[in-house]
Structures are given as structure tokens and as C-alpha cells.
Amino acid sequence: MTTSEAAEYLGYTIQHTRFLIRDGSLPAHKFGRDWLVDRQTVLNYFDADTANGPQDALASEQAMAAPQVTQLQAVNVAQVPQRSPFRYPGGKTWLIPCIRQWLQARPTPVAELIEPFAGGGIVSLTALFEGLADHITLVELDEDVASVWTTIFGDHGPWLAQAIAEFEPTLPNIQALLAEQDESLELQALATLVRNRVARGGILAPGAGLVKHGENGKGLTSRWYPETLRRRIVDIIERRGCMTFIAGDGLQVMRDNAARADVAWFIDPPYTVAGKRLYRYSEIDHEALFTLASQVAGDVLLTYDNAPEIQYLAAKHHLETRLIAMKTTH
């Protein structure tokens, strides 16, 4: 069987089936660029997994390490201060109360909080604004998102804030801006923030369409709050002496700083299910990420979807897990 055929038969995702192959739980042989699994091996594995009932068992160690549920009411995100200029898909505004608990439990503020997959950066920005971290470092690989942070943290931040305040989001203006966004980093940053506000769901991945009807029939302007965005950018600029931005690979930044005990890590990677639809760079090595997270000297908090392969990796690397309630609407 191919990996995809084995995954379909076992009821697992392709990623988790690959984890089983790499871990040696599901022996396979490489044939060209593909991994092939013996059909009888898959049948035997399925029989062993379902021997105790029709549940989707992973392994005895995973069953013993089932996530505990944190009984929290889902957060009303309207009650959480919005610090980021992004309307970011997969943003962590709903997690902010848990972030506060995590960082406030330390005897002293974090010397540096690093986000290897920063995106909209809401967690790090909140930590800095509320005095829970002395310094924050945002790391982002996506060129468009990186252009925004580079501009805000650099000399052209005030220009970007004013350009947002003055921009009129009509369809001709948006089309003209997107056509000239490659002329400079600052125009790329402006185009990215505009597109983030007028795209469906704020999705910046290639192919994302623009809002048609929007909220209350306002169309393209339904999520356009120029003065609010300008103020958020200005507030960040006023604190940029305590901020660092790195345009690059979050995993490499983790390797470079793994020995630092004064660093806390908030790790929010592209998830295993919806990442490809939401982000330009959605494919990451989750196994390598979990290995790094278990080895760094500083405190670590990861967020993931509750998928079987993630439960498997958390148990394998002896990471404590909790389920957190959240809402994606209202």
C-alpha cells in the first residue's frame, strides 16, 4: 500500500501515518520517492489497534497520556485588548487569558519571549504591553507578513500608519495597490495589511478571494477600521525598542537559542489540518518541532489542534497537554 492508502484504511491522517513509519511502528520500504507499506502489516496493525473496541487507539502510551481538559469558558474575544494590526486567521486572541496565567506564574517577568511562528503576534504583543515580558522577538517566514513587521519595526513605521489612515479601500484602489506592491518593501507592507482586511477571513495565502458582502452588507469596508489600525501601529512603534523581528525560519531560531534558560517560547505553528488553506508556508516538520520543544532550556507553550498525530508526538516527547475551549465565531 502507498502511505495515503494505508492512512485511509487505518483511519489516520497521512501525517500521522508518516509518523508511524518514521517511528518504526509501521515498517515500510522506500521505492523511489514514495514509501510503501506491506498490506498484511497494515491489516495486522489495524487489528491490533481495534482489538479493544472501535476507538481510534494510537498506542498504549498515548492512551495513558490522554489530554486533560481545562474547564474554561470559551473567551469572548471582544473583551480582549487587540494589539495586532493583523486580522489573522488562526490568531490567538482567544488564548490570551491562558497566556497571562502561564507568564504570571513565573516569579519574575520573562527576559525574552520568542514566537518562532509569529503571524499576527498577538501573544507577544500582549505580553510586552502588559509587562509580562521585558523583550519580545517575532519570527516569520512569510514574505508579506514579514514586510509588515520589518516596516513597523524600522524607519518607515510612521509612514505605514499614516498610509493606512489615508487609504480608501475601493476595488480600483485595492487593485492598483496590489499591482504596485512589489515596488518597495513599504508598499508591500501596506498592500499586505489592506489585503488582510478585505480578504475573506483575513486569509493571506495565495488564491484567497476578497470579501463580497461582508458584515451588514458593507462589502470591502466591513473590516476596515483605519484609525484603529493606525493607532495600533503607533502603539507598537512607541515600544519597538523592546522588540526584535527576524524574517526567517522559526525552527532555526529555536536551534540558535536552545541553551538560553532566560527565554520563554510561545510556539503556534501551522496546524496539521487547516494550515494549507490558511498559510503560504503550511508544511513544517512537526516531529522536529516537538523534538526541539522538548530540548530547549526555557519554558515552552505550544498550541495545536487536537489531532491524533499531535497526541502521539506530545506523548512521545513527554509534554503535558490540556484541552482549551475556544470559539471561531462571535
Residue 237's φ and ψ, nearest 5 degrees, are: -55, -40
Across 9-18, 39-48, 81-90, 205-214, least confident range: 205-214
- What pLDDT shows up at residue 258? 95
Higher confidence at residue 53 or residue 188? Answer: 188
Here the cell at position 224 is 476596515
How many whole angstroms separate alpha carbon 300 and alpha carbon 115? 10
Query: pLDDT tens digits for 138-197?
Result: 999 999 999 999 999 999 999 999 999 999 988 899 889 988 888 899 999 999 999 888
User: Is residue 66 very low, low, confident or very high in pLDDT (cuts 50, 70, 90)?
Assistant: very low
The neighbour count for residue 191, using CB atoms within 10 Å, is 23
DSSP structural state of residue 110 = B
Write out pLDDT tens, residues 286-295: 899 999 999 9
134: pLDDT confidence band, cut at 50, 70 and 90? very high
pTM for the predicted model, two decimal places: 0.74
Give the amino acid at 175.
Q
Instruction: Say yes or no to pLDDT of 210 above 80.
Output: no
114 — phi, psi (to 5°)?
-115, 130
